A and B are shown apart, each in its own frame.
Chain A
Amino acid sequence: MNLKIISRIAFHLSLAMIFVVLSGCRNSHTQVAEADQAPKPQSPVEVKLSLQGTPSVGEIVRLTLEVKPLIEAPLIRIAFILPEGLEAISGEPSWAGTLAQGEMKTVEITARLTIEKQYIVQGMATLEQQPGRTYTAVDSLTINLQRQGGTVVGVDQVQAKSTPAVKKSRDNRDLIEFKGED
């Protein structure tokens, strides 16, 4: 293999290293309603987190959290959970109050992205119906400002790795081996 070619490809790949991806890695709370699928009980709260603006280091983005209880909500707490490096500048990072069934509450903040990293922002709503009855829902989104193929700056959160430690086959069954810790 021509090392020069490999080297050139790697170089060009690294040139495209700072990329901005709003990958919208949302955790789906809904399942296809099929008779053979029994999903876990859902919280009667709808939460939608969205982002406006073009994310890049030093820039300000607007985060919007929309919350709608599907039942009467005598007390509902709403909050943005911001990772390190994402600094709220203005707006309402949390809110608590009463909402009627189906009533929408929208809170917004502006925040600055201060470092190159992958950010996972969360919006959470907890509905306290009565003692012993609490329903929580969360939405999250990913803002990826980290270098690809280069040094990752400021990662402070554990992320799922796409490449396992060792992948093997055992009786035609794939197997991933992780080194156990003492």
Chain B
Amino acid sequence: MAKTGYKNLLTLVASTLIIGVQGCSDGGNTSGNSTNNKGSTLAITGTVQYEDREYNQSGFTGQKNLKPVRFADVELVRNSDGTVLGSTTTNASGSFSISFSNTGAPGVYIRILSRTNDPLVNVEVAKPSGTLYGVVSNTLVESTATSFTVSLTAPMVNASNEAIGGAFHIMDLLVSGSEFARALTGTVPDLVKARWELGSTSGTYYNSGTDEIYILGGNGIQQGDHDEYDDSVILHEYGHHVAKHFSKDDSPGGTHFLSDNAQDIRLAWSEGWATFFGEAVLNNAVYIDTVGGDPPGNSASVIDLETRGNGSSLIYTTNEGAVATVLWDIFDQSIDESFDAIGDKITQIWDIFDNALVTATSVDMEDFWDGWFTRGHGLETEMRNVTTDRQMEFTPDPSGSNSTASCSTTVTIDNSIHETLYTSTTSSDTDYFCVVLSQGTSYTLQTLNLSNGADTYLELLDAQLNVLTSNDNGTDSTDYSQCQTTSAPGLTCPSNSSTALASRLTFAPSSTGQYVARVTRSSRAPQSAGRYGSYNFRVTTP
């Protein structure tokens, strides 16, 4: 058996040598005119494409199409010793031309790399090990022609079942993202390094420490979750890269769900921005993350940034989908929805992203809102409408002015009053609620239904405004102000749920009369919460 294998190997080597000596371009992808040209300058022109995999909201369709490999490095390599005799890059159409003179052993080939030296594009794609992908031509023998034309395709999988096309698709998407950012800034984004191979299970994520984007490789080309053809997913991760280099990103990172309305407000902004950026590059409102393979084993996660529907689920400044949706409404050309009378404002969005957010203490949707106006972009009504549609409340005192203890807002027992901690001024908001309490009765005063990152602090004052009692987070006395910082790395920040940071106190007055409840943002609020936020205030018995 081994002997037979050895014999076969010898035969293979001998055959290869014969092919090499004959300079046989053993395929239909090269052509040329016959002549003897050793040492003279010759020219090669060519085109390079990759096979893209089509999908829709149901997942992969089973269809494929060809797209140009743009701005990729092209190398002319001498067969005998691997010397690179010349190099260039493909253009936007995937075409290239290169001249060369080979004074060494005859026989050269063209190699297309999954990276670029084009000064206007800073991207590379490699395996997680760092190994680059290269697509190579058949051998070109100078003695056979004065010029050659090469046509190369990186297929989804080749005849040997090796996956290649995905690498060039990732590169193509990163080129698009880079071009989009450069068009807005005039600056070429820093190098991003994508890491992918079929079968990679290390997840899809951006590593801001290394400027790497890792991309899932599924469990076989038709199984599992692989993202190499998912435009939205790839550009979402590139959006994080853009945020790091052009803006500021304070997200704590970690696993997150599109449907979570109680996210860390910093994470919601970071992820919402990334999703918006990707769809803006694609100029498509529908985020699609395919799973599985071709039909019937196809499916996808889908988030349509334009569709609302009844009881639309993506709401608050603490939901990444809501952030993406608002940014999309400000960006897109469509102004035909009742709440969306603003559009085509990518320049303004980028201005805030690039100039206002960089000065924020902790970047979130509130900083984007504030930045919009401090940068002078106006349209307050239109902005309020698109944010209100997502239940983001940038509205001061929605139940009437109550920022002084003048008892303009009076509470009746068991009735709930809706309020916000939003203020358009630089000072923080204080809300006063006056209530008449009776001697001998025990009362519960509380903030409830917190949303949009609110963290309340509740005090009860007497008529002379002396503090009688106070509460921060109900029965939870933990100081979260340093959660997940270097001061308290092991302290997990609380959720921005409706209850986690709500305040609650009980009080039995010793005399009947008017009392004043005061609600402010907690001085011990975690960075995961907002500076503003919404809540209800209620007094009950007991």
Q: Whole-angstrom distance between the alpha carbons of A40 and B278 in the complex?
A: 12
Over the window 231-258 of chain B, the binary record of Cβ atoms lying under 8 Å from chain A Cβ atoms (1 yes, 0 no) is: 0010011001000000001011111111
B386 close to A (CB within 8 Å): no
B176 close to A (CB within 8 Å): no
Chain A contacts of B221 at CB under 8 A?
Answer: 157-160
Q: What's the nearest-Cβ distance from chain A to residue B376, in Å?
A: 31
B252 touches A181 (CB 8 A): no
Over the window 157-182 of chain A, the binary record of Cβ atoms lying under 8 Å from chain B Cβ atoms (1 yes, 0 no) is: 11111001111101001111111111
Q: What's the nearest-Cβ distance from chain A to residue B178, in Å?
A: 18
When A and B form their complex, which 10 residue pairs have the shortest distance between CB atoms, in order from nearest? Answer: A33-B254, A132-B307, A132-B304, A180-B152, A7-B2, A160-B199, A160-B198, A182-B29, A174-B131, A39-B205
A159 touches B220 (CB 8 A): yes
A7 touches B3 (CB 8 A): yes
12 A-B pairs whose Cβ atoms sit less than 8 Å apart in the complex: A27-B216, A27-B225, A39-B254, A41-B275, A42-B257, A122-B224, A132-B306, A158-B220, A158-B222, A177-B111, A178-B162, A182-B153
A133 touches B201 (CB 8 A): no
Report which of B133, B270, B304 forms a contact with A178, defined as CB distance below 8 A.
Answer: B133
Report which of A7, A27, A32, A134 forms a contact with B300, defined as CB distance below 8 A.
Answer: A134
Chain A contacts of B57 at CB under 8 A?
Answer: 134
List chain A positions with a Cβ less than 8 A from chain B.
3, 6-7, 9-11, 14, 25-44, 70-71, 81, 120, 122, 124, 126, 129-138, 140, 142, 157-161, 164-168, 170, 173-182
Q: What's the nearest-Cβ distance from chain A to residue B216, in Å?
A: 6
B129 close to A (CB within 8 Å): yes
Q: Whole-angstrom distance between the alpha carbons of A138 and B270 in the complex?
A: 26
Q: Whole-angstrom distance between the alpha carbons of A56 and B208 in the complex?
A: 46
Instruction: Knowing A38-B206, A157-B220, A176-B131, say if A134 contacts B301 (CB, 8 Å).
Output: yes
Stretch of B95-103, B291-299, B340-348, B451-459 with 4 or more beta carbons under 8 angstroms from chain A: B291-299
Q: Whole-angstrom distance between the alpha carbons of A140 and B299 in the complex?
A: 14
Q: Whole-angstrom distance between the alpha carbons of A44 and B261 in the complex?
A: 12
B177 close to A (CB within 8 Å): no
Q: Which among B151, B159, B291, B307 has the greatest number of chain A C-beta atoms within 10 A?
A: B291
Chain A contacts of B6 at CB under 8 A?
Answer: 3, 6
B224 touches A158 (CB 8 A): no
A39 touches B27 (CB 8 A): no
Chain A contacts of B136 at CB under 8 A?
Answer: 166, 177-180
B361 close to A (CB within 8 Å): no
Instruction: Knowing A122-B224, A180-B29, say if A39 contacts B255 (CB, 8 Å).
Output: yes
Q: Whole-angstrom distance between the alpha carbons of A173 and B319 in the complex?
A: 42
Chain A contacts of B274 at CB under 8 A?
Answer: 38
A173 touches B29 (CB 8 A): no
B197 close to A (CB within 8 Å): yes
Known contacts A135-B259, A180-B112; 18 additional CB pairs below 8 A are: A7-B3, A25-B199, A27-B201, A27-B224, A31-B255, A33-B253, A37-B208, A38-B237, A40-B289, A41-B236, A41-B289, A41-B301, A41-B320, A81-B297, A161-B161, A166-B136, A178-B135, A178-B162
A44 touches B224 (CB 8 A): no
| Residues of B16-32 contacting chain A, CB below 8 A | 27-29
B464 close to A (CB within 8 Å): no
Q: What's the nearest-Cβ distance from chain B to residue A129, in Å?
A: 6
Instruction: Knowing A43-B257, A130-B313, A165-B160, say if A81 contacts B292 (CB, 8 Å).
Output: yes
B202 close to A (CB within 8 Å): yes
Q: Whole-angstrom distance between the alpha carbons of A150 and B233 in the complex?
A: 39
Chain B contacts of A157 at CB under 8 A?
Answer: 220-223
A41 touches B199 (CB 8 A): no
Chain A contacts of B2 at CB under 8 A?
Answer: 3, 6-7, 9-10
B162 touches A165 (CB 8 A): yes
A81 touches B296 (CB 8 A): yes
Report which of B1, B134, B157 forms a contact with A158, defined as CB distance below 8 A.
Answer: B157
A41 touches B256 (CB 8 A): yes
B48 close to A (CB within 8 Å): yes
A138 touches B309 (CB 8 A): no
List chain B positions with a Cβ less than 8 A from chain A.
1-3, 5-6, 27-29, 48, 57, 59, 82, 84, 111-113, 127, 129-138, 151-155, 157-164, 197-199, 201-209, 216-227, 233, 236-237, 240, 249, 251-260, 270-271, 274-275, 286, 289, 291-292, 296-297, 299-304, 306-307, 309-314, 320
B155 touches A181 (CB 8 A): yes
A130 touches B162 (CB 8 A): no
A36 touches B236 (CB 8 A): no
Chain A contacts of B138 at CB under 8 A?
Answer: 179
Q: What's the nearest-Cβ distance from chain A to residue B210, in Å?
A: 8
B27 touches A182 (CB 8 A): yes
Q: Whole-angstrom distance between the alpha carbons of A38 and B210 in the complex?
A: 12
Q: Which among A10, A129, A157, A160 has the greatest number of chain B C-beta atoms within 10 A?
A: A160
Q: What's the nearest-Cβ distance from chain A to residue B246, in Å?
A: 15
Chain A contacts of B201 at CB under 8 A?
Answer: 25-28
A158 touches B161 (CB 8 A): yes
Q: Whole-angstrom distance between the alpha carbons of A86 and B533 in the complex?
A: 54
Report which of B203, B233, B313 forms a contact with A29, defined as CB distance below 8 A.
Answer: B203
B217 touches A160 (CB 8 A): yes
Instruction: Knowing A25-B201, A39-B255, A44-B259, say if A176 contacts B291 (CB, 8 Å).
Output: no
B224 touches A178 (CB 8 A): no
Chain A contacts of B311 at CB under 8 A?
Answer: 130
Q: Whole-angstrom distance between the alpha carbons of A6 and B5 in the complex?
A: 10
Q: Whole-angstrom distance between the alpha carbons of A137 and B132 in the complex?
A: 30
Chain B contacts of A142 at CB under 8 A?
Answer: 219
* A120 nearest in chain B by CB position: B223
Q: What's the nearest-Cβ distance from chain A to residue B330, in Å?
A: 19
Instruction: Knowing A35-B251, A138-B225, A138-B292, say if A41 contacts B205 (CB, 8 Å).
Output: no
Report which of B132, B296, B309 forms a contact with A170, defined as CB distance below 8 A.
Answer: B132
Chain B contacts of A159 at CB under 8 A?
Answer: 161, 220-221
Chain B contacts of A178 at CB under 8 A?
Answer: 133-136, 154, 158, 162, 164
A33 touches B255 (CB 8 A): yes
Chain B contacts of A33 at CB under 8 A?
Answer: 252-255
A40 touches B227 (CB 8 A): yes
Chain A contacts of B151 at CB under 8 A?
Answer: 182
* B75 nearest in chain A by CB position: A170
Chain A contacts of B84 at CB under 8 A?
Answer: 170
Q: Whole-angstrom distance between the alpha carbons of A129 and B301 in the complex?
A: 11
Q: Whole-angstrom distance between the alpha carbons of A105 and B167 in the complex?
A: 37
Chain A contacts of B134 at CB under 8 A?
Answer: 168, 175-178
